[in-house]
Amino acid sequence: MTLTVTTEPLENRQMALNVAVDDARVEKHLRRAARKLARDYRIPGFRKGKAPYQIVVQYFGEQALYNEILDDLGQEIYREALEQAEVEPYGQASLADVDFNPLTYRLIVPLEPTVDLGDYRNVRVAEEETAINEDLVDQELEKYREEYAGWQEVGRPVQYEDAVNIDVKSVIAATDDADEIVVLDEEDWDITPSEEAPMEPAGFDEQLVGMEAGDEKEFDLSWAEDSRSIYAGKTAHYTVKVNRVEAYEKPELDDDFAQLVGPDYATLDDLREDIRSSLREQAEGNARDAYVGRALDAILEQATLEYPPTVVEDQIDAMVREYGSQLRQYGIEDLENFFEQTGQDMDEYREGLREQAEIAARRNLILSELLAKEYIRVDDEDLDARVAEILGDELADAIEELALEEAVAEDLVAGEEALEEAVADELAEEELAVEEAVADALTAEELALEEAVADELITEDPAVAEAVAEDLIAEELAVEAAAADELAAEELALEEAVAQELATEEDALEEATAAELAAELAEELDALSAQRDSMRDFFRYGQGRMLLESEILQRKTLDRLLAIVRGEDVPALDELKAAAEAAGAETESADEDESDASDAEAVVAEIVEAGAETDAAGDQEAAAEAGDEEESS
């Protein structure tokens, strides 16, 4: 035995281990450290790695060798001391003291906290009702109005803080000693009249107030004698024309405003109800958190707890990490650097968290003990239900997105169909107009020809002329009727051809769009299904299962806590214990069945690996001892 270990119980669930290390073991590690130093550093008169042990001790000092072995040897000693003293640590031990001649350690080991909940099942805590104040709804509406506020042109006189666009010219008249000075000559100049920060010279902003768009005004203003302006003590004549007056206005609270906030709100009442529902949900969540805190504090009052200081320190560490995580959301990666830049001290910050961490640590211990006492566990049904809940939300979101894409596609198809019909109608009208124009031209030419022939015939023989005229009229009517029939037939044929072509194109477009949508939908659903299967596997095995189990255990423990303090019916502890034991036996049986086939192979592999490691370690140790003997000789 190379260690001598004595234990000393301390307060607050701590154990002191006083460990003395055998000199031979220390000597062995010191020589190993000397060889390392001789290899890493050049010692005068010797090649690297060739200086004898005593020379290394003289050159670096014995304390340097002890410093080299403390980390490696300390970890070995810590593990062996815990095993030898049969102490189970609750966290990392701290080194309280170390002596070097002989080498002794004093380690402070944190032990598992002890928690006695007392008669916790008879603790009762009154629950407070939650109510939504309508003033909070109005405040949220006012935030929306601020969000959608903007500069609007107004038809009223200028007021302070308006945005005013003006044409302005300011001139200091010429004197015997100086020429005329143009101070300002601007068009479309934007200015915001202010009572708190007026423009120089004093009075300019005041002159603008009360003017309206289109007004023109002339006035004189003087700079003060003590003004820092180069025009101090001078007077200028101003000519101002107001072009536009704008005010930063909030929208009116009406149905139009509700629809501006979101398409789901048809009326202002819809928006109010949604705000009210969100506030109610938030208030209920806050009330539940507060109720959980009061319930835990009520149990703490009659419980007995003893725990090591590391419990609170670990809680402070967690709170610091959470603060760092919050800062990273704003692009601040280094917490310590942030503290330096803001003049904060990390130790002071941690100390400021101590009281809050103490409360959180004690509450967590109560919850952990409650989980054990109430035999709360997570079964496959709990996991499947939670996974289905997570995946169901994602599936619903994806389907809603796909439905939106399909609606947009249908709108595009409808728009294309309307455009094509309009174009077809316009083309048909243009073709008919051309045909009518051609027909009219032909008719006019025929009439002119007929009139010319008739005039010539009349001059020769009136009787013949009359007969010819009647024949011409009959022929003309027949020609016009035939032309009209032909035009009507052509028009109908054209319309039918256009309609048939449009119908064919629309059918093809609809089929192509439907096929494209169906393909996209199938692809999206396949991807979603694969993602769902991947997530299900993640939450059923390994780290994902551990995360989900932790979440479910916390929720079920809090639910049980609230059921107890409300006085609700909860199963007896004997029933819960029997159910937990039965479930545990069933799980163990299933695990044994699955592992029987691989146990033998695993054991053989471990034996082979352990043998190889032992051989390698023996070879290294033999080589090291040979080196030590050579140095000693």
The structural domains of the chain, with segments of one domain joined by +, span 3-112, 150-249, 410-542, 599-633
Q: Residue 592: pLDDT band by 50, 70, 90 thresholds?
A: low
**Lowest mean pLDDT across 53-62, 266-275, 396-405:** 396-405
Q: Provide the pLDDT for residue 518.
A: 72
Query: Lowest-pLDDT range, 86-95, 138-147, 284-293, 477-486?
Result: 477-486
As a whole number, mean pLDDT of residues 554-580 equals 94
The number of C-alpha atoms within 13 Å of 145 and in the hemisphere containing its C-beta is 14
Other beta carbons less than 10 A from residue 445's beta carbon:
10
Rounded to an integer, the average pLDDT of 249-276 is 94
- Whether 476 shows a pLDDT value over 50: the answer reads yes
Q: Which of 157, 2, 162 is closest to 79 using CA atoms? A: 2
Is pLDDT at 491 greater than 80 in this prediction? no
For residues 529 and 442, which has the higher predicted lDDT (pLDDT)?
A: 529
pTM for the structure as a whole: 0.63
- Are 357 and 312 in contact, with CB atoms under 8 Å apart? yes
User: Tell me, what's the pLDDT at 546?
Assistant: 87
Strand partners, 218: 239
Please say if the pLDDT value at position 401 is more than 70.
no
Residues 377-389 have pLDDT tens digits of 998 888 888 888 8
Residue 359 and residue 296: Cα distance in Å, rounded? Answer: 10
Give the burial string for 298-322 (b: 16+ CB within 10 Å, else e). Answer: ebbeebebebbebbbbbbbeebbee
> Does the structure show a pLDDT above 90 at 115?
yes
Higher-pLDDT residue of 417 and 545 is 545
pLDDT in tens, 156-186: 999 999 999 999 999 999 988 889 999 999 9
pLDDT at 525: 73
Q: State mean pLDDT over 71-77.
A: 84
CB 159 within 8 A of CB 141: no
Q: Using an 8 Å Cβ cutoff, are 245 and 212 in contact? A: yes
- The region of weakest confidence among 86-95, 365-374, 398-407 is 398-407
- Name the residue with tokens 């393909």: 519
Q: Which pLDDT value is given to residue 513?
A: 72
Q: What is the mean pLDDT of residues 405-419?
A: 54
Taking domain 3-112, whether its CATH number is 3.40.50.1980 is answered by: no
Give one DSSP letter per residue of 178-204, joined into a string.
S--EEEEEEEEEEE---SSSPPTTTTH
pLDDT surpassing 80 at residue 72: no
Mean pLDDT of 608-633: 49
CA distance 84 to 1: 10
Mean pLDDT of the chain: 83
Mean pLDDT across 233-240: 96
Asked if residue 107 has pLDDT above 80, the reply is yes
Distances from the Cα of 311 to the Cαs of 92, 317, 354, in angstroms? Answer: 11, 10, 11
Higher per-residue pLDDT: 189 or 450:
189
**For the chain, percent of residues with pLDDT exceeding 70:** 77
Class of CATH domain 150-249:
alpha beta
Q: In this model, does residue 323 exceed pLDDT 90?
A: yes
Range of lowest pLDDT (319-323, 527-531, 575-579): 527-531
**CB distance 107 to 122 below 8 Å:** no
* Predicted local confidence at residue 494, as pLDDT: 72
Percent of the chain with pLDDT over 90: 53
Is residue 307 predicted with pLDDT exceeding 60?
Answer: yes
Identify the pLDDT of residue 35: 92
Contact 314, 91 (CB under 8 A): yes
